[in-house]
């Protein structure tokens, strides 16, 4: 068993949440990311693709206000299991983005955070295509990804995903590769903004509003 799941099992639910949040802060400030996304609003509906245990969703729902309706999906079991907030307006499902894109619901905001480096390269643009299909007219897509740079932070991030989380196929884009994948999915004519999130420049955020 990878180190991360083994340690989480020993800690118990409450301590696990605290430990996971503390460890995650070494790599990305989710509060800053949620604030950046909320600035693009308001949004009435949102979906987070690859929501994991719900750490970012907790912050997004708090930032986006009491009227937002949210859905988190993940292919792993028990998505959103650590979410803290009003579950009457937030749902979680174990599902692929392609499955949800085949349904009628559309969203004002689609968020994909630190998912792509866990996906085989040939499947990344199709995944982003499905994310674009989830957008309501005038909707916003946000892709946050840890990108490859020649720094110690990247070596630590690779080691974390490869040896602690146990993902033996982890593969990071460069910033240029990430931009191209986003362009391939949302179109070269779509305005796109780019920024970074502390504490490392490896945390790249791309925001686009594709025309429908």
Tell me: cis bond preceding 199? Omega within 30 of 0 counts.
Answer: yes
Q: Answer yes or no: are the C-beta atoms of 125 and 181 closer than 8 Å.
A: yes
Residue 18 binned pLDDT confidence (cut-offs 50, 70, 90): low
Query: Three-state DSSP class for 190?
Result: coil
Superfamily name and number for 28-208: Vaccinia Virus protein VP39 (3.40.50.150)
Q: Answer yes or no: are the C-beta atoms of 28 and 146 closer than 8 Å.
A: yes
Residue 50 in this model has a pLDDT that exceeds 70: yes
Which range (21-25, 44-48, 93-97) has the least confidence?
A: 21-25
């Amino acid at each position: 068993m990878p180190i991360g799941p083994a340690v989480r099992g020993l800690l118990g639910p409450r301590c696990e949440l605290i430990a996971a949040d503390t460890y995650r802060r070494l790599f990305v400030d989710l509060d800053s990311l949620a604030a950046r996304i909320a600035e693009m609003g308001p949004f009435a509906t949102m979906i987070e693709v690859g929501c994991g245990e719900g750490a970012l969703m907790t912050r997004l729902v708090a930032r986006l206000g009491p009227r937002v309706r949210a859905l988190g999906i993940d292919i792993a079991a028990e998505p959103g299991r650590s979410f803290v907030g009003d579950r009457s307006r937030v749902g979680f499902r174990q599902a692929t983005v392609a499955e949800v894109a085949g349904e009628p619901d559309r969203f004002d905001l689609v968020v994909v955070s630190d998912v792509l480096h866990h996906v085989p390269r040939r499947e990344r643009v199709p995944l982003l295509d499905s994310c674009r299909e989830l957008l309501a007219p005038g909707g916003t897509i946000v892709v946050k990804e840890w990108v490859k740079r020649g720094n110690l932070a990247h070596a630590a991030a690779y080691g974390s995903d490869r040896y602690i989380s146990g993902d033996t196929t982890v593969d990071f884009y460069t910033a240029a590769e990430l931009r191209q994948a986003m362009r391939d999915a949302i179109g070269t004519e779509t305005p796109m903004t780019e920024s970074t999130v502390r504490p490392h420049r490896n945390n790249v955020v791309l925001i686009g509003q594709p025309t429908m």
